[in-house]
Structure 1
Amino acid sequence: MKYVAAKATSWLDRLEKFTVVTLCGSIVVLIFMGVLSRFFFHYSIAWSEELARYMFLLGALFGAAAACKTGQHGGIPLLVDKLPPAWQRVTEVIVGICMLVFIGFLAWLSYGTTLRALASGQSSMTTGIPVWVINGGMFMAFSLAFLRTIQGLILGAYRVDKPFVDEHE
């Protein structure tokens, strides 16, 4: 069972990296094309900015989901380090629970907006991409962040006293 879990985690790690790198690289190429098009051909690619915005949003959300596994969230270690060791551990558990509640709430909200966008048939103005596709990507990223936070809590990534080192890196 441990082998299957390790294999699934390794596969998920690679998929996250591929997704984030592909989105970020695509943003660079897309914006570069838009700038060249305006500068040399005096023609603006109207959809490039909107598509780059969607890619940036999804890249940031999937990158944040990947960071949840290793505890690289916006914590306040300077404050937690001042507490006694027992209180540090309590704080870590409370932070983990709060993160799960918050990310779970965001996943639930994005699921609802995805269903509403699907029912409405709305599409974006310049690209024509159905809005439910973008919202569905947000739902997937928040759901992945929820699972990665659980994984990080199990692996001890949120421990203040021991920095987490991912053996797959």
Structure 2
Amino acid sequence: MTTAFQRHLARLHRFEDWVLTFLVVFMVLLAGAQILLRNVFDSGFAWAEPVLRALVLWSAMLGAVIATREDQHIGLDFIGRFVSGVKLRVARFIALTFAAVLCALMAWHSWGLVQLDREGGTDGVLGVPAWVLELILPVGFGLMALRFLIRSLLPPKTHEALPVASP
């Protein structure tokens, strides 16, 4: 890889990390404020619950994308105990390609959900349509599919586990 490409990739990774950090911190602060307002003042923000649900969705998907990037997703490493060399590379290729296909299918079907909610005009929260809040699903699954596919074509890192079928 060229150094310019590596720099851009490193920026993308930092951006992903910062977005996830911001979302989680905001989610914790909003949930804490909501708990405090309810228990102390018998009050609260009417919009907080649907915003928190959207934040959980976005945080979970971004966390899964980052876990895939860092090879920290759920994996199976017992196959490496029984096979090595070419057989291990073939098993790794099959497992990673399978995970990529599953993620691609999830991206495809979640895009259908986004389109359905877009056409139906489903309400979201705070004036943001539901389809905008759901965009993380096809984007996240698409990024995971791409990362699994790329990793399936690259040589394995030491002690790399095989992914479980479901992302």
Classify the TM-score, shorter chain. Answer: 0.7 to 0.9
* Structure 1, 20-29 or 145-154: larger mean CA deviation: 145-154
- In structure 2, the partner of 1:145 is 144
Aligned counterparts of 2:73 and 2:136: Cα–Cα separation in 1: 21
1:64 aligned onto 2:96: no
1:163 deviation in Å?
3.9
Deviation at 1:73, TM superposition (A): 2.0
When structure 1 is superposed on structure 2, of 109-118 and 143-152 the one drifting more is 143-152
What's the CA shift string for 1:17-46, capped at 9, x where partnerless?
A: 011101110110010110111012101323
Indicate yes or no: 2:103 matched with 1:112. no
**1:150 positional shift:** 3.1
Q: Distance in 2 between matches of 1:53 and 1:119?
A: 22
Q: Which amino acid aligns with 2:62?
A: F
C-alpha separation between the residues in 2 aligned to 1:155 and 1:17? 24
Q: Structure 2: how far apart are the matches of 1:66 and 1:52?
A: 21
Identify the range of structure 1 (93-102 vs 144-153) with the bigger mean alpha-carbon deviation: 144-153
Where does structure 2 lack aligned partners over 5 or more consecutive residues? 161-167
TM, length-normalised to structure 1? 0.84
Coordinate RMSD, CA, aligned: 2.0
CA contact (8 A) 2:96 2:152 kept: yes
C-alpha distance in structure 2 between counterparts of 1:6 and 1:130, whole Å = 36
Identity in percent: 25
Q: How many residues align?
A: 159
- CA offsets per residue over residues 93-125 of structure 1, 9 Å max, x none? 11111011000001111111111111111113x
Equivalent pair of 1:69/1:152 in contact (CA under 8 Å): no
Give 2:8's aligned residue.
8
Whole-angstrom CA distance in 1 between matches of 2:30 and 2:45: 10
Taking structure 1 as reference, are residues 163 and 5 closer, same or farther at Cα in structure 2, changes over 3 Å only? farther
Under a length normalisation based on structure 2, what TM-score does the superposition of the two structures give?
A: 0.85
Aligned residues of 1:70 and 1:152 also touching (Cα < 8 A): no
